[in-house]
Amino acid sequence: MIARTIRWSRHNLFGKPFDTVLSIIVIPGVLWLVYQTVDWALTTAKWDVIPQSLRVLMIGIFPADQAWRAWTAVSIIGAILGAALGCIFTFRRRHVVFLLLTLFIVLLVTGPGEWATAPFIVLAMGGFAAGWLLTSYVPRARHVLLPAASTGFIAVFAVMTPPGVGLWGGLLLSILLTLVTSVLSLPIGIVLALGRRSRLSSVRVLCTAYIEVMRSVPLILVVYWIWILMPVLTPQWDLADVARGMIGFTIFYSAYVAEYMRSGLQAVPKGQTEAARSLGMSELDINLSIVLPQAFRVVLPPLVGNVLDIFNTAPLVFIIGLTDFLRAGQMILANPENSDRIYEVYSFLFMTYFIIGSLITFVARKLESHLSRGSR
């Protein structure tokens, strides 16, 4: 192990004179920065603000006496994500250690003052593990994953709605916005990509115009205009701000998904579609059985990047009065008692965004490797 590390360092860090000089300058600086950060985190930082404000960070201004609804929604979402993960990773014994370590860290961050929520945290982790186990060892469960996930999302909205949709917030709102936008923008983007390649000029022009307009304006403008125009165009529908925000995000990101899918569709050899037509296959069967499966392999990395973009741009919903994860942190700092905890709060926000983004990227790489097996 030591010899391998020495060889790697000699080849990658000290292989050339310029690399050697750069390493001598950069490595001590990085080590000093890490030392200062760890020293501040362990000796100077006052982390008690995080457990005390964890409910606001997680669910925003959602009523405390209705918090069980939010935790129920988290458990359902965890089960759905776990079931989806089971289609990529088979649950192994070593994953039990990972789940227990994650549970320990979450309970540690929660702190004694919020340990009344410990049963809900265990329930959420249990739902995630149950979904992971189910799809890992019951292959038939994968065939009903899509309708089960759709039912689960309906249940999430049903259990969260009674206190008021306008009260949704925190990290839960950011995750819901990301999931809903990612799920809805995918089929819309596929339809737009196919429409842009349509033989009907009217359909092709309309789809192209929609895509180019959405890609030429900023997201914040689209969300703001949807928030303003929906009550004017559909006064009979009293849509909540959360719904209008999700519609704005979906409309905007569908155009980007369409462009990603168009690049994947162009990567499929024309000879395959021509051969399928010669066999008498319909255009629908050609797209579903031949074109789209191959296109997904090509566009998976940008699609995952699109999911990360949605999650990272979720704070833009503050413009329509919603309390997302970042806005919840700012609300905590607005309290005079916490005005001197800026570094602690923003460090926690940074680490949360970083961990979630890293997990999404890691799963995407495994999924890409899993899908590439069929093309070897």
Which of 301, 307, 309 shows the shortest CA–CA distance to 267? 301
Q: What is the pLDDT along the chain (376 residues), one digit of tens a residue?
A: 677 777 777 776 777 777 778 878 888 888 898 889 888 888 888 888 888 888 888 888 888 888 888 888 888 998 888 888 887 778 887 778 878 888 777 777 776 656 666 777 788 888 888 888 888 888 888 888 888 888 888 898 889 888 888 788 888 899 999 999 999 999 999 999 888 888 888 888 999 999 999 989 999 899 988 888 887 777 777 778 888 889 999 999 999 999 998 888 888 887 877 787 787 777 777 777 788 888 887 887 788 888 888 998 988 888 888 888 888 888 888 888 888 888 888 999 998 899 888 888 888 777 777 666 555 4
Give me the count of residues in the chain: 376
Which of 39, 50, 11 shows the shortest CA–CA distance to 342? 50
Residue 21 lies in a domain: no
Element (H, E) at 130: helix 118-137
Q: Residues 42, 47, 51, 56: is their CA dihedral positive or negative?
A: negative
- Is there a single domain that holds both residue 185 and residue 312? yes
- Is there a single domain that holds both residue 85 and residue 143? yes
- Is there a single domain that holds both residue 319 and residue 209? yes
Domain that holds residue 286: 171-343
Residue 109 lies in a domain: yes
Tell me if 206 sits within 8 A of 302, measured CB to CB: no
pLDDT number for residue 111: 64
- Is there a single domain that holds both residue 321 and residue 285? yes
- Is there a single domain that holds both residue 211 and residue 277? yes
Count of structural domains, the chain = 2
Q: For residue 28, give the amino acid letter.
A: P
- The reply to whether the predicted model has a pTM over 0.95 is no
pLDDT number for residue 254: 94
pLDDT number for residue 376: 46
**What is the distance of C-alpha 339 from the center of its chain?**
30
CA–CA distance, 97 with 277 (Å, rounded to integer): 52
Q: Residues 188, 365, 102, 91: is their CA dihedral positive or negative?
A: positive
- Is there a single domain that holds both residue 230 and residue 312? yes
